[in-house]
Amino acid sequence: MKSENGFYGQYGGSYIPEILYSSQQQILHAFEDAKNDPAFLAELHKQWQQFSGRPTPLTFCANLTEHFGGAQIYLKREDLNHSGAHKMNNVIGQGLLVKRMGKKRVIAETGAGQHGIATALVAARLGLECTIYMGAKDIERQYPNVFWMKQLGATVVPVTTGAQTLRDALDEALRDWSSSHEDSHYLIGTSCGCAPFPEMVAFFQSVIGDEVREQSVAQFGQFPDRLYACVGGGSNACGLFLPFLDEKDVAMVGVEAGGKGLALGEHSIRLSHNLGQPGIAQGFATMFLQDQAGQLQETHSIAAGLDYVGVSPIIAHLAETGRIQMTYAMDDDVIAACTLLLKKEGIIPALESSHALAGAFKDAPNLPKTSRIVINLSGRGDKDIFNVAKAVQDEAFPQFLNDYLATYPVTTDNKEQNA
Amino acid sequence: MSQLAAFIHEKKSAQQAGQKKPILSMTHVVYGYPSVQESLDWMARLMEEGVDFIEVQFPFSDPVADGPSIVAACHKALEQTLDVDTCLTQLGELAKGFPESRIVLMSYLNPMYRFGLDKLAKRAAEENILGLILPDFPIEQSTDYIAACKANNIDPIWLVTPVTPSDRLEMLASKASGFLYCVARSGVTGHSSHEGTSHLTPMDEYLAHIKAHANAPMGVGFGLRERSQIEDLIGKADVAILGSALLDAYNQGGQDAGIALLRDLFPTH
């Protein structure tokens, strides 16, 4: 979706410290050039295919469809990307742009760790130095991802300020960029931040919806009736929705994280139910969860990737104009949706994506049998093994962990590798 | 001429008349750190000591242009509920006792945007706070804010940096009112793990370039910690801004350590 000078309605823009002005302009121009350069686009599609395995399938779910007895349910399988999430689409695009700009290092923030891993993978492949900022609390929740980032050669910096989650990681990445902008690119993981990041990330993610357009026509002769995506920062939702923006008969539903409840601090609902307020922070204007005095607030979700205080200005604008309908799913519903997909279809969804499932499953029984819905399965759930085991109260898991720890060599020879 | 620029010129002429102070001083204090009263006491002590300006930072949860010292102070301050209007009232009261000093307010855009930029300009002017610094508010988006400041005869203070492109630097310098905040180096405020590594224009050249186009006095800040750095600015800038270094001293040894640093850096005060 093209912005008006970086703005989508009242949201977006570029509100950054003066020190970053030149670098922001450089990215703006490099992206404008690149997206109109057939050679760049050809390389992008080649890397998407050869490195990430695109196109990802559109999978019909016969058992779920029968279970709910309503709409025909399809999943867009972004979980089958290399790295196991849609994040790969964006990092390949920005990675190629970094090479084009001649920079040597990338900085990224990460919440769940999916974007961190995706960035570390691309950095390794493209020969770039890589520093990942991650909230200390998120590192605790998603250590296996941190482990892989380090194995891939990235430096992972725990962020211990504030609530120690994605928002703080984003602040710290911006601070790094303020001093390193001449040789480093800030490889933002979602369609947030100063212009042109929202537009650029949405552009790279739109491959998701572009493929669904072709696949839906090929598989059932028409576009889907409804699309569902979870909304954290908003990149997988932008990716699925934007290519359908002009198709008035295609309804779009964004699902936010309802967390444990609707009290401030217990959820990450920025758009539905007027819980967020307009604000300008972290480089852009959008709906933020904040108090009366304009201080950004803590958020919660069982899915670290949705635990964010702001939201894409593109999604905020489309929600405000009514083009996208926003709803939310609570932590408990999310675990139930995750479990149902496992049992019925043999697919392990990420907890982030399970929000989209939960939102769709609520509607599916009430939709006509002739209607078709596409849910963006933005990531796979292997990374969530510890959290899901805890949520379903698996009895054997603690014993497994105890046994594992009992045999874990405490003094290792390769300490430095993990330092 | 703006009230703020007039104040600086007046002080500078006193200096040229051979009285003292080869360069004016601006010291930074985080409002509400470690408590509201302690921060107000600290401001009073600094003005008693003769600093020309206090830059009061109204804390924001996500201060992206600041380094660890100021970030930590802001987060500590925000453990209390802070209110912009009360802050302005308290600063106005405080300033009355120190006619030889001025207070400028620094914050990030969001808390001020939520308070209302028109109301901010009006209230700041009422409390004799003559300048506002919002480092994440680019001049391109600021038409209404500039108008509000102008209407209330106070100044929006813009920042320029060593990596600001030449034409933009000249544009910002020419639009400066009150004073122009010249950032001395890349990166965030204070000591941090993010140290700029770039090869920048030499400081003298940078300041001379700004001076050739500046329509207002010049303040220099970011990374000032030693007397020699401040001595180097004499004759090239009007105000030296002391931020994180002062906070670090305060954190280590309270007000007395802060004052000792101030006296060391500005020996002619």
Work out the percent of chain B whose per-residue pLDDT is above 70: 94
**B 154-183 residues with CB below 8 A of A?**
158-161, 163-165, 168, 172, 183
Task: Tell me what pLDDT residue A397 has.
Answer: 95
Answer yes or no: is B2 within a domain.
Answer: no
Answer yes or no: is A1 within a domain.
Answer: no
Answer yes or no: is B162 within a domain.
Answer: no
Average pLDDT, chain B: 93
Answer yes or no: is A349 within a domain.
Answer: yes
Task: Tell me what pLDDT residue B186 has.
Answer: 79
Domain that holds residue A290: 54-84+206-388
Residue among A4, A7, A15 with most chain B CBs within 10 A, to mutate: A15
Query: B263: how many CB neighbours lie within 10 A of its CB?
Result: 13
Task: Tell me what pLDDT residue A2 has.
Answer: 84
Alpha helices in A36-130 (DSSP H): 38-52, 62-68, 87-101, 114-126
Is A67 among the residues known to form the active site? no
The predicted-structure confidence for A306-353, as pLDDT tens digits, reads as follows 989 999 999 999 999 999 999 999 999 999 999 999 999 999 999 999
Distance from C-alpha of B89 to C-alpha of A334, rounded to nearest angstrom: 48
Task: Tell me what pLDDT residue B126 has.
Answer: 98
Examine the domain organization and report whether A335 and A378 are in the same domain. Answer: yes
Answer yes or no: is A4 within a domain.
Answer: no
Q: How many domains does chain A have?
A: 2
Bond preceding residue B99 cis, omega within 30 of 0: no
Answer yes or no: is A10 within a domain.
Answer: no
Examine the domain organization and report whether A195 and A225 are in the same domain. Answer: no
Examine the domain organization and report whether A266 and A282 are in the same domain. Answer: yes
The predicted-structure confidence for B175-187, as pLDDT tens digits, reads as follows 999 999 999 987 8
The predicted-structure confidence for B90-142, as pLDDT tens digits, reads as follows 999 999 999 999 999 999 999 999 999 999 999 999 999 999 999 999 999 99
Answer yes or no: is B170 within a domain.
Answer: no
Distance from C-alpha of A234 to C-alpha of A256, rounded to nearest angstrom: 10
Task: Tell me what pLDDT residue A410 has.
Answer: 77
Examine the domain organization and report whether A112 and A67 are in the same domain. Answer: no
Examine the domain organization and report whether A133 and A250 are in the same domain. Answer: no
Contacts of A129 in chain B (CB under 8 A): none
Examine the domain organization and report whether A103 and A147 are in the same domain. Answer: yes
Residue among B66, B76, B110, B172 with most chain A CBs within 10 A, to mutate: B110
Examine the domain organization and report whether A250 and A186 are in the same domain. Answer: no
Confirm or reject contact between B44 and chain A (CB < 8 A): no
Task: Using CA coordinates, name the residue in chain A closest to B184.
Answer: A19
Examine the domain organization and report whether A24 and A68 are in the same domain. Answer: no
Task: Tell me what pLDDT residue B187 has.
Answer: 80
Is this prediction's ipTM beyond 0.95? no
Would the CB atoms of B141 and A15 count as touching at under 8 Å? yes
Q: Which of these three, A183, A201, A219, is where a domain ends?
A: A201
The predicted-structure confidence for A32-43, as pLDDT tens digits, reads as follows 999 999 999 999
* Rounded mean pLDDT, B259-263: 97
The one catalytic residue in B52, B66, B127, B232 is B66
Would the CB atoms of B198 and A182 count as touching at under 8 Å? yes
Answer yes or no: is A268 within a domain.
Answer: yes
Q: How many domains does chain B have?
A: 1
Answer yes or no: is B173 within a domain.
Answer: no
Q: Is B9 in a helix, a strand, or coil?
A: helix
Answer yes or no: is B160 within a domain.
Answer: no
The predicted-structure confidence for B185-235, as pLDDT tens digits, reads as follows 878 887 766 655 555 678 899 999 999 999 899 999 988 999 999 999 999
pTM of the model: 0.94
Contacts of B81 in chain A (CB under 8 A): 293
Examine the domain organization and report whether A349 and A230 are in the same domain. Answer: yes
Answer yes or no: is A110 within a domain.
Answer: yes
DSSP sequence for B99-156: TT-EEEEE--HHHHHHH-HHHHHHHHHHTTEEEEE-TT--GGG-HHHHHHHHHTT-EE
**B 239-258 residues with CB below 8 A of A?**
none
Task: Tell me what pLDDT residue B72 has.
Answer: 95
Examine the domain organization and report whether A151 and A27 are in the same domain. Answer: yes
Phi, psi of A235 (to 5 degrees): -75, -35
Examine the domain organization and report whether A249 and A107 are in the same domain. Answer: no
Answer yes or no: is B121 within a domain.
Answer: yes
Confirm or reject contact between A153 and chain B (CB < 8 A): no
- Work out whether strand A11-12 and strand A7-8 pair parallel, antiparallel, or are unpaired: antiparallel
Would the CB atoms of A13 and B198 count as touching at under 8 Å? no
pLDDT lower than 50: segments of chain A = 415-419
Task: Tell me what pLDDT residue A90 has.
Answer: 98
Answer yes or no: is A416 within a domain.
Answer: no
Answer yes or no: is B120 within a domain.
Answer: yes
The one catalytic residue in B41, B49, B55, B232 is B55
Please determine, for residue B20, whether its predicted confidence score (pLDDT) is greater than 60.
Answer: no
Examine the domain organization and report whether A186 and A273 are in the same domain. Answer: no
Task: Using CA coordinates, name the residue in chain B closest to A23.
Answer: B163
Domain that holds residue B236: 23-154+220-264
Three state DSSP letters for A179-221: HHCCCEEECCCCCCCCCCHHHHHHHHHCHHHHHHHHHHHHHHC
Distance from C-alpha of A123 to C-alpha of A241, rounded to nearest angstrom: 28
CATH code of the domain containing B34: 3.20.20.70
CATH code of the domain containing A131: 3.40.50.1100
* Rounded mean pLDDT, B43-62: 97
Answer yes or no: is A184 within a domain.
Answer: yes
The one catalytic residue in A29, A82, A86, A338 is A86
Is B136 among the residues known to form the active site? no
Would the CB atoms of B64 and A282 count as touching at under 8 Å? yes
Answer yes or no: is B125 within a domain.
Answer: yes
